[in-house]
Amino acid sequence: MQNKATNLFSDWAEIGRDQGMAKAHDPAVSEILSTIFSDRKKPFSFIDAGCGNGWVVRKVRLISNCEDACGVDGAKAMIDNARDVDPDGEYY
């Protein structure tokens, strides 16, 4: 059974609001990722819990030493959007 939050985010995904969320959050998330991974030399795996449409998963996967990245979200429409954009990605 979905709760109000997952229903709300599914509704947002169905009307394209997820794209606006990604755009608005990109500067802060990019800075955070840069801080975390700029000095990291070892290979790593990444899980984005609450991945929405998967934009952060796709961004992290571009980091050269990222071996695997996947996303998980309770909002089915968000996962559907992630899979539409990135059919080879891992989204659950």
CATH no. for residue 49? 3.40.50.150
Measured in whole angstroms, the distance separating CA 59 from the mean position of its chain's CA atoms is 8
Task: Find where tokens 């998980």 sit.
Answer: 72
Provide the whole-model pTM: 0.89
Instruction: For 36-68, write each residue's pLDDT tens digit.
Output: 999 989 999 999 999 999 999 999 999 999 999
- In three-state form (DSSP H/G/I as H, E/B as E, the rest C), the secondary structure along 3-53 is CHHHHHHHHHHHCCHHHHHHHHHHHHHHHHHHHHHCCCCCCEEEEEECCCC
Residues in the chain: 92
Cβ–Cβ < 8 Å for 80, 17? no
Domain region containing 61: 4-38+45-91
Decide if pLDDT at 2 tops 70. Answer: no
Number of domains in the chain: 1
Indicate the average pLDDT of the chain.
Answer: 95
Instruction: Give the pLDDT band (50/70/90) at residue 3.
Output: confident
pLDDT at 1: 54
- Distance from C-alpha of 1 to C-alpha of 19, rounded to nearest angstrom: 25
